[in-house]
A and B are shown apart, each in its own frame.
Chain A
Amino acid sequence: QVQLQESGPGLVKPSETLSLTCTVSGGSITYYYWSWIRQPPGKALDWIGHIYYSGSTKYNPSLKSRVTISVDTSKNQFSLKLSSVTAADTAVYYCARSPSSTWADYWGQGALVTVSS
């Protein structure tokens, strides 16, 4: 059974960079797309972007200037960096596996990241 686990700081200061890592267990990171999705409090899910195991990426245009997603196949991990964060970036951040790049079949439990000084 594939499992995903998000990890990283739960508190980030405004203007700094949010960094999260997703560790994949129970399966290989190769031959799949890997996504990041977030949910601000009381709001809908919001797609951040995804990366193919080979390293090609696609980002939400509204976040593209601030987002970097990378993959480390040797560690079976992929990561999210979101720069210049504001309070509007406070959300539960989910990582997920996307076999076809259009939907996600396995998700992590989510990591709450709060942006506050």
Chain B
Amino acid sequence: QSVLTQPPSVSGAPGQRVTISCTGSSSNIGAGYDVHWYQHLPGTAPKFLIFDNSNRPSGVPDRFSGSKSGTSASLAITGLQAEDEADYYCQSYDSRLIGWVFGGGTKLTVL
């Protein structure tokens, strides 16, 4: 069981918008620690998508956006494309566990 909770799966048709939630607690997201997001295709290197809740590294399309409120964060993907089909993970810091914590991952299926 992961410290950060994500839905196991989401889906959407090409062109649509989907959101992936990441719910934490008072010792991580709720304590003010930033949330970061990664995209992962099994067998490949995870790709860095969002850092510090809502910032995109250079090269990441603006179709990807992040937000944070209270003890939760969200990743939104607009204009869904087939290439977006992957696993998505949120990550933060936990003051009780004294280290990085990850969500369980969400599998995005593009219908």
Seen from chain A, the residues whose Cβ lies within 8 Å of a Cβ on chain B are: 4, 35, 37, 44-47, 49, 58-62, 94, 96, 102-110
Question: Within the assembled complex, what's the spacing in Å between the Cα atoms of A11 and B104?
Answer: 26
How many residues on B have C-beta within 8 angstroms of the other chain's C-beta atoms? Answer: 25
B6 to chain A, nearest CB (A): 9
Task: Please name the 7 residue pairs, one residue from A and one from B, whose CB atoms are nearest each other, closest first.
Answer: A47-B100, A103-B36, A45-B102, A107-B45, A44-B2, A44-B104, A105-B48
Query: Once the chains bind, are A102 and B93 in contact (CB under 8 Å)?
Result: yes
Query: Once the chains bind, are A61 and B98 in contact (CB under 8 Å)?
Result: yes
Residues of A within 8 A of B34 (CB): 102-103
A to B contact number (C-beta, < 8 Å): 59
B40 to chain A, nearest CB (A): 9
Q: Report B3-44 residues with CB < 8 Å from chain A CB.
A: 34, 36, 38, 43-44
Interface residue from B93, B97, B103 paired with A44 (Cβ < 8 Å): B103
Q: Report B25-70 residues with CB < 8 Å from chain A CB.
A: 34, 36, 38, 43-48, 51-52, 57
Query: Once the chains bind, are A44 and B102 in contact (CB under 8 Å)?
Result: yes
Query: Once the chains bind, are B102 and A103 in contact (CB under 8 Å)?
Result: no
Question: Within the assembled complex, what's the spacing in Å between the Cα atoms of A94 and B89?
Answer: 15
Query: Once the chains bind, are A47 and B89 in contact (CB under 8 Å)?
Result: no
Residues of A within 8 A of B97 (CB): 60-62
Residues of B within 8 A of A109 (CB): 43-45
